[in-house]
A and B are shown apart, each in its own frame.
Chain A
Amino acid sequence: DIQMTQSPASLSASLGETVTIECLASEDIYSNLAWYQQKPGKSPQLLIYDASSLQDGVPSRFSGSESGTQYSLEINSLQSEDAATYFCQQHHDYPYTFGAGTKLELK
């Protein structure tokens, strides 16, 4: 199975700041990576697919990028509603696997 190593496990940032969350794939996943946001007690919501394509309705302050097997989610101009846990997921090979998650706290 493809392993997704996500970092950091948690981070704290202030309103208006920019944060970056990363996922390292154990092998080449050819940009087949998605990012999800999950708020407490809610189901995950798709933010980005194919590494950098923004899902309809997702604010443009969210962006995705890649460098080799390293994938990044950047959130610009943090808003209070961005406090959540973020997960990456590879969809290159079955079984699809998730990163362990990054809990983002707003100061």
Chain B
Amino acid sequence: QIQLVQSGPELKKPGESLKISCKASGYTFTDYAMQWVKQAPGKGLQYMGWINTQTGKPTYADDFKERFVFSLETSASTAYLQINNLKNEDTATYFCARLEFGVFDYWGQGVMVTVSS
């Protein structure tokens, strides 16, 4: 069955960096783009952007053009989200999601990131 399994929760200090993984299984990884979505505590869903799993080309939504990096390890069917120079407002749950015809049909379980001094 199709699964997206993300890495575990993170507790970081402001200014640090982190890298979240999203491992796909049950389908051909390069057949579908991967999206990233942020959900701050008690808030709605914010679209961060996507990465083309065939070319590795990332596209970022405006709010995520600085400090955020999408990458791949295609041989391991894994997508990554790196956040540099962490800020308190990065405290959120981050989801990866597979994109098919514009909709997110499968989601990872989410990674809770806490940024606190």
Contacts and interface: CB of A to CB of B under 8 A. Distances in A.
A48 B61 CA distance: 24
Interface residues of B, number: 20
Interface in A31-87: 32, 34, 36, 42-46, 49, 55, 87
Nearest to B64: A95
B102 A43 contact: no
B46 interface: yes
B103 A87 contact: no
Contacts of B103: 34, 46, 49, 89, 91
A89 B47 CA distance: 10
Interface in B92-117: 95, 97, 101-105, 107-110
B114 to A, nearest CB: 15
B110 A98 contact: no
Secondary structure of the A contact surface, majority rule = loop
Given A43-B110, A45-B107, A91 B45 contact: no
A91 B44 contact: no
Contacts of B95: 43-44
Given A43-B110, A95-B47, A95-B49, A49 B59 contact: no
A19 interface: no
A20 B39 CA distance: 24
B89 interface: no
Please provide the 3 A-B residue pairs with the shortest distance between their CB atoms, ordered closest to farther. A91-B102, A43-B107, A95-B61
Interface of B: 35, 44-47, 49, 59, 61-62, 95, 97, 101-105, 107-110
